[in-house]
Each structure stands twice: as structure tokens, then as C-alpha cells.
Chain A
């Protein structure tokens, strides 16, 4: 298509086409270059870790949102669902500890309880959208309010601090490196005081978990019938129904997936920050939708990829960390992210065939 519409040579046309399809990747590279040029020590191990951690929560919410947006819906409840997840998780761990359950078991059980409870809001969203034909925007907007209120009730309008030791797992890393001496997959034991001080920790564990889950759901979306049906529903819901796809059931699953991702984000938040709070993810709903749309999804449905959402989440995380690095007040990030969202939507509006195809 590009070759035909552009008067320049074939090669130049191809390059322009590539740039158009991958504008988000180029944007990320530019952004990274700009912060490297103007920031102080932007490219440092610590900062890259900051980017990975910042990207984690956006990405988790974003993957679930990707599925929803591909079907032509939207889930506005994910931010407060995540807050609800942190509160149920922290509260469960506290209660279990008070009941005398050992710490490790309490953490695991607490996480499982929070994940299980976190499926219900998605189930309700799904049933409202799929069976009762409530517009997704309204159904999930209602759930946005409900989960926020429910979280406030559980945490009694304050923060819940999880027991000491809860943060151990969430602040772990993969790969520990003592220059010249040890490179270990997990935390090495029996090191001297001096070695410990010189030890470098490489990959934050919550980022590892997040990217593994992202890879799994990228697989589901591109390689399985479930993924293909998700695209088919977004492309033409009537056609999907006539082709024998159980559309209401599939849509319900999709909203449950989105809700489960929000709950998982909540659990990881508690493991990392040892706190449950109803507004833990309140700013992330915007971020998640932005990440998905930057990644090439269309709010009209039928398009979007997990790979694209990862790029989108990285753009937001680099922006956020870069602004902190430059000492720009953080409220400016909302302006920047809002601006990027509108830009991405305009690209989809005027060049709908550019990005985000299902393969």
C-alpha cells in the first residue's frame, strides 16, 4: 500500500511504512535518547530497574485491558480493582497472621484469596456487558465506584500495613552479581560484609513475573483459538455469533481476565510496598488504556497486541522515570500521558490500517 501511495522510491516507501507501523518504538527510542541527553545518569542500572518496576503495574493492567479493547469494549474499573486487590490481600495476610498462621503460608493464602476475590468484579462486568448488553463504558464505570467503596470499607478508610517480612519476596531480584567473584541466579549466601556492599542486584522479581505473564498472554492472543475468537468478536460480533462462537461467554471470560490482572497487580503491589490502599492504582487506569492504545489497539475493536502494549507501558514508564530524573514535578506526567493518548487515538483515527494487526 505504501509503495502505491507514496511518490518516492520503493525502498523509501518501505522505510516510511515501517516507521509508520512502528511509530511507538521510534517514540520510545527518541524518548530514551532525550532523557539520556538531558538527564543525569539516566542510563544507570538503578534507573533501568526503576523503569522496569514502574512499567510492571501499567503493563499488568494493560494486558487485561488489551483483551477487552480488542473485543471493542473498555474496562474503566481496573485502577480501583487493583486498589481493591491490594486491600483484600493486605487485610487477608493481617487476619491470617493474627490467627496464628505462619508468615509464608499467610502470604501465599492472602495472595490466593485476593486473586480469587478479584475474579468477581470481572464476572459481574462480563455478565453486565455480555448478557444484559450494558455498554462496557457504563458497566465498568459503575464497578469503578463499587470497588473503590468496597476497598474503603475493608481498609476502614486508611492504609493497611502488611506484617513485616511480606515485602521480602516482592523486593527480591533475579541474578546477583559481585564483580569479579560471584554471579548467582538467586541471592548468594555466606558473603563477606565488603562483598555484600559491592553486590549488584540485576532484575527486580516483580518485573520477571510480569514479563512471564505477558509472554504467556501474548501466546494466548496470537496462537490459540481463544485469542483468535477475541479478534473475531472485535472485528464483527454478528459474524462471530453466526460462525458459532459463544460470544457472551467469551466476553465474560475477557472481563474476568482483565479483573484477574488487576488483582494480580494488587498482590504484587502488596509484596513490594507492604501496604494495601484503595487508591493504589487510581492513576493507572489512564496509564493502562494509554499503553494499549499506543500499542496499536483501536477503541473500535479488532486490533491490538500484547507486544504493542509492552511498548506502550515502557513509553509511560520511561516518561515517568525521566521526569523524576529531570526534577520535573510529577503532576506534569498526567498532561504528557493524556497528550500521548490523544496523539495515539488520532493516529488510529486517520491511519486505521497502520498498526496493531493480530499477527
Chain B
């Protein structure tokens, strides 16, 4: 069996008296799309925030590429190649597309031989390459983000993480604010990532999305992982039952 890219073991996070994440195990393999499901307050976001370095766990281990890692900050998660796309997308609306892809890591060239100035052309061309690779179509990379649609913004954010060599992509409600066409494009993009071997964890409330793109589903309830299913072997009714707690946990699927 392959080594999981990400593995968490017995992860625990407490906030005062509340145990938000209670002894959770999770594995993500290369080229796999995992859906993380649960009602509000089930602990999905808390779990994800530990993996992306925002929260420090109170117990348990996080392994990445087979080695135990300590994610002290979002920066250390980024360094490993764990990219998280939040709902607010983390783009600067007042800047153009390629400036956003290179935000914080701008390419420069020497001006008059010594002063480093922004190399717009290189950043533009490199951005174009990565967006083409993902089959993302944006009319002009010199357009400001604020002129783009929600789906295009989502695509730019994904393009950015891929350019910077994301090994694992975590998407929090990636289609929540999008129109139907746009949702479809984002889901296509997730499939594209999978075909290129990049695993994705998707947190979503949209049953349709989850069944359309995931390979495996993990359901959480009140901080615990209550079920794990191969997507093809389950259906909406069962999953809704698992989320709400109506359906007793009778079987677990070993991965």
C-alpha cells in the first residue's frame, strides 16, 4: 500500500472545556480527492486549521510524506507545500492577476545593473504558463482581480498555489459563493488537479459537489470522525444520515 502524503493520528484540539477535534485519524493519498463533511460545529474547520498550521494540536501527530511534522505557523505549512484556499480567497482585489499569483514572491530583474525592479513580463508569462497547464481561461492577466467573476478568482487562487508547488490543496467551501456554471468549472479544476497527481481535501456542504468529484468521504460529528466511505459505494441519503447522526455507524471502510 502506498504511503499517505498526509496522515493525522489521534489529533486533539480543545478550546476551554470544549473538545473541538477529538482523537481524529485521517489519511490522504497522492492523486486522491477527499471530501470532509459534517454539520456546522462538527470540527471540520478546526481539523483543517491544524493541518494548515493555524492552530496547534493539543494531542496527536501530523505526518507529511511519511515524516512527523510540527506546523508552528501557516508559513511552515506553506513551506511543506500544504496550501489552503479559504472562502475569502486571499487575493488582493486592487492588483492584477499575475501580481496576485506572485504576491509576496515577486520576480525582479536588475535595473541599471543593480536596483531590483519588478519583472512584469516574466511574472505575466509564468502565470500564463501555469494557468494554461490547468486549462484556466482568463481574458487578460493584466486585469484587476475585482473585475473577475467568483469562479475566475477561485481559479487564480488555485493557479497560484500550484505555481508555488502545492503538494496538497485544502479547499474550504470552494463553490459556496459561485453560480452554477462557475461551480462546474471549479469542480473541473479539482479533477484536473487529481489527474496531475495533486491530492485535494474539500470541505463542502454541497452534496452534489462532493459526489461529483471526491474519491472518498470522511464524516465528522461533534468533533469525532464517525464514518469513512468510498464515494462510489455510498449515496446521499446515507451520508446525510451520517452527518446528522440519524444513521448508526455500522461499517467503516479501510483505506
A residues at B contact (CB < 8 Å) = 1, 223-225, 228-229, 231-232, 234-236, 238-240, 242-245, 302-303, 353, 357-359
**B74 touches A (CB below 8 Å):** yes
Q: Out of A1, A302, A353, which one reaches B92, CB within 8 Å?
A: A302
Give the CA-CA distance A223 to B119 in the complex, in Å.
Answer: 9
Give the CA-CA distance A92 to B226 in the complex, in Å.
Answer: 74
Give the CA-CA distance A223 to B106 in the complex, in Å.
Answer: 11
A-B contact pairs, 20 of them (CB 8 A): A223-B118, A224-B108, A225-B116, A228-B95, A231-B92, A231-B94, A231-B95, A232-B95, A232-B103, A235-B92, A239-B89, A239-B100, A240-B92, A240-B104, A242-B74, A243-B90, A302-B93, A302-B94, A357-B144, A359-B96
Q: Smallest CB-CB separation from B146: which chain A residue?
A: A353
Q: Are B117's CB and A239's CB within 8 A? A: no
- B residues less than 8 Å from A235 (CB atoms): 92-95
- A residues less than 8 Å from B96 (CB atoms): 359
Q: Out of B75, B89, B91, which one reaches A244, CB within 8 Å?
A: B75
Q: Are A225's CB and B118's CB within 8 A? A: yes
Q: Are A224's CB and B90's CB within 8 A? A: no
**B111 touches A (CB below 8 Å):** yes
Q: Smallest CB-CB separation from B92: which chain A residue?
A: A235
B residues at A contact (CB < 8 Å) = 74-75, 78, 88-96, 99-100, 103-106, 108, 111, 115-118, 144, 146-147
Q: Are B108's CB and A232's CB within 8 A? A: no
- B residues less than 8 Å from A229 (CB atoms): 104
Give the CA-CA distance A240 to B99 in the complex, in Å.
Answer: 12
Q: Smallest CB-CB separation from A359: which chain B residue?
A: B96
- B residues less than 8 Å from A1 (CB atoms): 147
Give the CA-CA distance A231 to B75 in the complex, in Å.
Answer: 21
Give the CA-CA distance A223 to B146 in the complex, in Å.
Answer: 22
Q: Are A357's CB and B118's CB within 8 A? A: no
Q: Are A358's CB and B94's CB within 8 A? A: yes
Give the CA-CA distance A18 to B100 in the complex, in Å.
Answer: 26
Give the CA-CA distance A302 to B95 in the complex, in Å.
Answer: 8
Min CB–CB distance A153 → chain B (angstroms): 41
- B residues less than 8 Å from A225 (CB atoms): 106, 108, 116, 118
A244 with B105: in contact, given A223-B118, A357-B144 (CB under 8 Å)? yes
Min CB–CB distance A24 → chain B (angstroms): 19
Min CB–CB distance B171 → chain A (angstroms): 15
Q: Are A357's CB and B90's CB within 8 A? A: no
Interface centre among B95, B108, B144 (most CB of A within 10 A): B95
Q: Are B91's CB and A236's CB within 8 A? A: yes
- A residues less than 8 Å from B91 (CB atoms): 236, 239
- B residues less than 8 Å from A359 (CB atoms): 96
Q: Are B94's CB and A228's CB within 8 A? A: no
Q: Are A245's CB and B104's CB within 8 A? A: yes
- A residues less than 8 Å from B108 (CB atoms): 224-225
- B residues less than 8 Å from A231 (CB atoms): 92, 94-95
Q: Are B105's CB and A239's CB within 8 A? A: no
Q: Are B94's CB and A224's CB within 8 A? A: no
Q: Smallest CB-CB separation from B103: which chain A residue?
A: A243
Min CB–CB distance B206 → chain A (angstroms): 25
Min CB–CB distance B6 → chain A (angstroms): 20
Q: Which 9 A-B pairs have the closest CB atoms?
A: A235-B92, A243-B104, A302-B94, A235-B94, A244-B104, A243-B103, A239-B90, A223-B117, A236-B92
Give the CA-CA distance A359 to B118 in the complex, in Å.
Answer: 12
Give the CA-CA distance A232 to B100 in the complex, in Å.
Answer: 8
Interface centre among B89, B106, B116 (most CB of A within 10 A): B106
Q: Out of A224, A244, A303, which one reaches B116, CB within 8 Å?
A: A224
- A residues less than 8 Å from B75 (CB atoms): 244
Min CB–CB distance A233 → chain B (angstroms): 8
Q: Smallest CB-CB separation from B105: which chain A residue?
A: A244
Give the CA-CA distance A223 to B111 in the complex, in Å.
Answer: 10
Q: Smallest CB-CB separation from A242: which chain B residue?
A: B90
- A residues less than 8 Å from B146 (CB atoms): 353
Q: Smallest CB-CB separation from B115: which chain A residue?
A: A224
Q: Are B78's CB and A244's CB within 8 A? A: yes
Min CB–CB distance A174 → chain B (angstroms): 24
Q: Smallest CB-CB separation from A243: which chain B residue?
A: B104
5 further A-B contacts with Cβ under 8 Å, apart from A223-B118, A228-B118, A240-B103, are A225-B106, A232-B103, A240-B104, A245-B103, A353-B146
Min CB–CB distance A230 → chain B (angstroms): 11
Give the CA-CA distance A340 to B94 in the complex, in Å.
Answer: 25
Q: Smallest CB-CB separation from A233: which chain B residue?
A: B92
- A residues less than 8 Å from B104 (CB atoms): 229, 232, 240, 243-245
A236 with B105: in contact, given A244-B75, A357-B144 (CB under 8 Å)? no
- B residues less than 8 Å from A234 (CB atoms): 94
Q: Are B117's CB and A238's CB within 8 A? A: no
Min CB–CB distance B11 → chain A (angstroms): 23
Give the CA-CA distance A244 to B90 in the complex, in Å.
Answer: 12
Give the CA-CA distance A358 to B90 in the complex, in Å.
Answer: 19
Give the CA-CA distance A236 to B89 in the complex, in Å.
Answer: 10
- B residues less than 8 Å from A303 (CB atoms): 94
A238 with B88: in contact, given A229-B104, A231-B94, A243-B104 (CB under 8 Å)? yes
